[in-house]
Amino acid sequence: MALQVGIIGLPLVGKTTVFNAVTAAGAESAAYSKASTKPNIGIARIPDQRLQTINQFIETDRIAPATIQVVDVAGLVRGASTGQGLGNKFLAHIRDMDAILHVVRCFDSDEVAHVEETIDPVRDIDTVETELILADLEQVATSLDKAERAARSGEKDALARAEILKKAYAHLNDGHPVRELSFTPEQKKAIKSMGMITAKKVLFVANVGENDPQGQGELVQKMRARCAAEGAPLVTVCGKLEAEIVELSEADRGEMLAAMGLNEPALALLAREAYKLLGLHSFFTAGPIEIKAWTIPIGANAPQAAGAIHSDFERGFIRAEIYSLDDLIQYKTEHEIKHHGKLRVEGKNYTMKDGDITHFLFNV
């Protein structure tokens, strides 16, 4: 199953606008979201200029960027942890996510009311965080009771699970998310299976007004300080403008971005940050049919990368032939890269680097 990043936030903060823009889903998807308790699911492309650079030297029929799955979850309300609004349905959807984009409203509007009547991004973050902490606290308390009973057997896994849950419960009870805690690699694997919402990585998204596309206003500054205190990443977008930008032609898009003082759509940065949040990076394959970015976890070895293309490639992996984009820019062709001794031959233990341009040799 594809890794999923879930978009969450209070109602009327612009979640679905951001979702529609980042997935180019359009108005039909937005209407569906409002009418249904089911989350919207879409695919976001990860903009990567390196693909176009490769294409300057290698002709191809098509270019395929990396993608991630994005889920727009129904708006959370105060009291969701006790069943208000969509309550448990909402929280269940978040538990299934691999990481979270938390959209926070940083714009004023006479046309769009706020559920709390005033605009205060720090209060809104704390409201959502509190609901998630309370939901986790309830779940962990139930699991801890069972884990402690199981741990009486002295069985190693049961003892380890009880230890994790005790640590999480104490932190949640003090009003803090589990992601702030330090765990061993083994404990992190165990936590992932426990479905704790506040253990997931979070990227905060400040949804700003058209009068502040670069996020320099007071509301964003307050939110930035709040996120910095937690060490959490923050991206600023104007959901309304971004939704308009994706509908424009390439030429008109560049003109609009220049007028806004931006080099690229803010959603390009958002997509890349979400990609990093999931612990992913890309390697490339390049040929006359396709230049493609393939998604792999950071730290994956060469056979695992081959498996991202096809399971047969991983099963019958022999070796990988790899060169860098810098090599391609310098030597212009794969033939010249090889001639100058820059085509590396890597085996099963090679750890893939972001941006490796790769040919796999395999036999099944």
pLDDT tens-digit profile of 106-117? 998 887 777 777
User: What average pLDDT does range 126-140 have in this prediction?
Assistant: 92
> How sure is the predictor about 35, in pLDDT bands with cuts at 50, 70 and 90?
very low
What element of type H or E holds 296?
Answer: strand 290-297
What is the structure's pLDDT at 34? 45
| Angle formed by the axes of helices 156-173 and 185-192, nearest 10° | 80
User: For residues 65 and 50, what is the distance between their CA atoms, to the nearest angstrom?
Assistant: 10
Diameter of the chain by CA atoms? 68
What is the structure's pLDDT at 172? 97
User: What average pLDDT does range 276-298 have in this prediction?
Assistant: 96
pLDDT of 323 higher than 60: yes
pLDDT of 301 higher than 80: yes
> How sure is the predictor about 199, in pLDDT bands with cuts at 50, 70 and 90?
very high
> How sure is the predictor about 348, in pLDDT bands with cuts at 50, 70 and 90?
very high
Helices (H), 36-76: 49-55
Q: What is the pLDDT of residues 256-277, one digit of tens each?
A: 888 877 788 888 889 899 999 9
User: For residues 237 and 265, what is the distance between their CA atoms, to the nearest angstrom?
Assistant: 9
pTM over 0.75: yes
What is the structure's pLDDT at 29? 45
What is the structure's pLDDT at 83? 55
User: For residues 237 and 22, what is the distance between their CA atoms, to the nearest angstrom?
Assistant: 11
pLDDT of 349 higher than 60: yes
Q: What is the DSSP letter of 13?
A: S
- Give 238 or 35, the one with higher predicted confidence: 238
- Give 11 or 167, the one with higher predicted confidence: 167
- Helix and strand numbers (H, E) in the chain are 15, 12
User: What average pLDDT does range 278-290 have in this prediction?
Assistant: 96
User: For residues 321 and 358, what is the distance between their CA atoms, to the nearest angstrom?
Assistant: 6
Give whichever of 53-67, 147-161, 237-251 has the largest mean pLDDT.
Answer: 53-67
Q: How many CB atoms lie within 10 A of CB 361?
A: 13
User: What average pLDDT does range 92-110 have in this prediction?
Assistant: 89
Q: Which domains does the chain have, with CATH numbers?
A: 4-277 (3.40.50.300), 299-362 (3.10.20.30)
Dihedral over Cα of 239, 241, 247, 249: its sign: negative
User: For residues 229 and 183, what is the distance between their CA atoms, to the nearest angstrom?
Assistant: 20
What is the structure's pLDDT at 39? 78
> How sure is the predictor about 88, in pLDDT bands with cuts at 50, 70 and 90?
low
pLDDT of 1 higher than 80: no
pLDDT of 356 higher than 80: yes
What is the structure's pLDDT at 28? 40
pLDDT of 249 higher than 50: yes
